[in-house]
Structure 1
Amino acid sequence: IVSTLVAATIVHPVAILCTVFRLGYRYTRLRFWWDDLLAGLSMALDVVCLVSIWILTDSSSVGPVHQPRKALVVAYWFASIAFTSVLWSARLSILYSVMRITPSTMMLRRVMYAMAVSFGLMYISIIIQKVYMCAHHGKWETTHILQCHLGNGIAITELTTDCISDIILVAIPWGLLLRIRLPKAHRKLLLTIFSASIVTTAVSIPHAVFVLGPEGLLSDITAHVEAGVSLIVANLLVILTYIYKVIKH
């Protein structure tokens, strides 16, 4: 419990602060677009994750509030749904960041719209599986440690969709770099997206492995790390662009 609280309290505030900076920067420069809106949505859901984990870790050894059992169950549901939502809204934000600098005449831009739809479908499929599994097997709500064991099916689905989405987020920027000439700043942005997508894959694999495990307890920690890192990565593009401009001038 303490480890989960520490991990969540470190990674989520960092992700939230990065997003606040990103939104403020884009808004003041009048460059607010869909990728920023999705980042803002991801940040709001990340706040839900953080509050939920604070409620879930409320115990005699950690927290002084001593929430009733029903509140803990509700917090678990919010945390479980919000985690997946943070992850996929952050990925959509990254995809729209690439779309933003892709010429509207390119076929690749239409492909990216199709990929955005596929991301949405993958997100919905995971949410449906999670809700069904945890609602159908409700005994976990009465156990000492609140933990809905999702099972191998959902773990495999999460790992598969993580890999597919991350491959897309790596392949599209790389393909754009090879196919057209872009300004130096845009090329650096694409290289950042390319590198950052590899980082999100490296974080998502351990989470899927722990979900596949017999207990799945460590999956709580890796879930919060994965969600926070994904949101941080989505904001890296704007933050690094700002730092580059400050250094250049």
Structure 2
Amino acid sequence: MLDIHNPLIQIKITSAVCSAFAIGTTIYRLIIRWGRLQADDGWAFFSMLTLLIQIAGVFMRIPDPTRLSHLNRVASYYLMATSFYTIIWSARLSILFSIIRVDPSDSRKRLLKLVAVLFSIVCIVLIAQLYWVCEPQPKWKDLPSPQCTLNKQIAICQLVSDVIADSILLVVPLKLLQSIQDMRLRLRLMVIFSTCIVTTVVSLVHAVLILKRGGKKVIIAALVEDCLSLIVCNIPVVFTSALRLRERHRNKTTHQPTLLKFSNPLRNKGTTYSQGDETTLMTWNSTNTPLTLTKPSSVPLNVSESALGLNTIRIDPRLVGTPTNSSMNV
């Protein structure tokens, strides 16, 4: 029976549960993006791979650490600590490249690619800082479950870099979203991209625990922060896919067969073309001119029709053939 009060068990449970959600969302993202994968998907995949490495480091910590060699125990800690940075910053790079992918401005794309380079440099510097702080302190390596005592320098650097990076990821999409006319869609996308604030909050908690030397709580906060970062980077793709599936389901349930009727022009000047809940008046001139389909003024155009200019459709009668009193389903 599991002893949930055992710090080692708590760390493993946290890693298993949170990682399952993070890996699940990443796999779903890769499936729906399959065949059109781009850089943002690649960074999400890399973040998932390093999360698997972190899981291996967590489960290398066994109840009887003496069964592992001294080198393996130290390697377990460094796997967890190093992957902490790679998971978070590769997830941020995935969000950044998602914005680059949909941004139509070439100048902004070049600027954002420069920001991506800076993100990579910060990640490398933070990993190097971990080693230059921990290596001069050899005593922690002799503990049964080795864990380096992180100092104020690491906590401050983590917090500052996290706040700046997440602020960039929050502000950058705003310029892109200003061009969207649909207020509901704009608000929805703003909520999606603003989820990066969640990682900032968890990062703040993590930094405070480092300053207070929280022991196992520092590790648990780090695991939660990693998994949330990966989940957040997948939210724009997963949420958009969920909305698309809902719209398809709604269209299927409300679909009705369209009845297209033609009348003899010598007997009737016009007839009605019905499609779903929309009605269009068709008129046919006896001079063999093309048919003109116009929506009555009483029926307002929806956004897509207005944007695409679908208020008038012209049909060549040579393609239609001689009008008859017959009707057919389209």
Fold conserved (TM > 0.5)? yes
| CA deviation after TM superposition for structure 1 residue 237, in Å | 1.2
Distance 1:216 1:174 in 2: 39
Matched, 1:92 2:93: yes
Residues 66-114 of structure 1: CA deviation (Å, up to 9, x unaligned): 4333322111111110111000000000011111110143x32222112
| Correspondences of 1:3-82 after superposition (within 5 Å) | 3-27=10-34, 30-56=35-61, 58-60=62-64, 66-82=67-83
1:246 is matched with: 245
Question: Does the C-alpha gap of structure 1 residues 196 and 148 become closer, same or farther in structure 2, counting only changes over 3 Å?
Answer: same
Question: Does the C-alpha gap of structure 1 residues 182 and 136 become closer, same or farther in structure 2, counting only changes over 3 Å?
Answer: farther
Question: Does the C-alpha gap of structure 1 residues 173 and 158 become closer, same or farther in structure 2, counting only changes over 3 Å?
Answer: same
Question: Does the C-alpha gap of structure 1 residues 189 and 92 become closer, same or farther in structure 2, counting only changes over 3 Å?
Answer: farther
Question: Does the C-alpha gap of structure 1 residues 145 and 72 become closer, same or farther in structure 2, counting only changes over 3 Å?
Answer: closer
Q: Where does structure 2 lack aligned partners over 5 or more consecutive residues?
A: 1-7, 249-330
| CA deviation after TM superposition for structure 1 residue 215, in Å | 4.5
Question: Does the C-alpha gap of structure 1 residues 154 and 177 become closer, same or farther in structure 2, counting only changes over 3 Å?
Answer: same
2:316 is matched with: none
Residue type of the alignment partner of 1:137: Q
Higher strand share: 2
Give the number of aligned pairs.
241
Residue type of the alignment partner of 1:202: V
Residue type of the alignment partner of 1:77: Y
1:134 is matched with: 134
1:198 is matched with: 197
Higher helix share: 1
Residues 190-245 of structure 1: CA deviation (Å, up to 9, x unaligned): 42443211111111111111111134431100000000010011111111111101
1:211 is matched with: 210
1:231 is matched with: 230
TM-score (norm 1): 0.90
Distance 1:93 1:188 in 2: 22
Q: Secondary structure at the match of 1:5?
A: helix
Structure 1 window deviating more from structure 2 (167-176 vs 153-162): it is: 167-176
Matched, 1:125 2:129: no
Higher relative contact order (CA 8 A, sep 6+): 1
Question: Does the C-alpha gap of structure 1 residues 66 and 183 become closer, same or farther in structure 2, counting only changes over 3 Å?
Answer: farther
Q: Is the Cα contact below 8 Å between 1:170 and 1:193 reproduced in 2?
A: no
Q: Is the Cα contact below 8 Å between 1:92 and 1:116 reproduced in 2?
A: yes
Q: Secondary structure at the match of 1:136?
A: coil
Q: Where does structure 1 lack aligned partners over 5 or more consecutive residues?
A: none
Q: Is the Cα contact below 8 Å between 1:196 and 1:233 reproduced in 2?
A: yes
Q: What is the RMSD of the two structures over their aligned residues, measured on CA atoms? A: 2.1
Q: Is the Cα contact below 8 Å between 2:11 and 2:216 reproduced in 1?
A: no
TM-score (norm 2): 0.69
Distance 1:177 1:94 in 2: 15
| CA deviation after TM superposition for structure 1 residue 185, in Å | 9.8
Structure 1 window deviating more from structure 2 (144-153 vs 34-43): it is: 144-153
Question: Does the C-alpha gap of structure 1 residues 67 and 182 become closer, same or farther in structure 2, counting only changes over 3 Å?
Answer: farther
| CA deviation after TM superposition for structure 1 residue 149, in Å | 1.1
1:114 is matched with: 114
Q: Secondary structure at the match of 2:103?
A: coil
2:150 is matched with: 150
Residue type of the alignment partner of 2:45: G
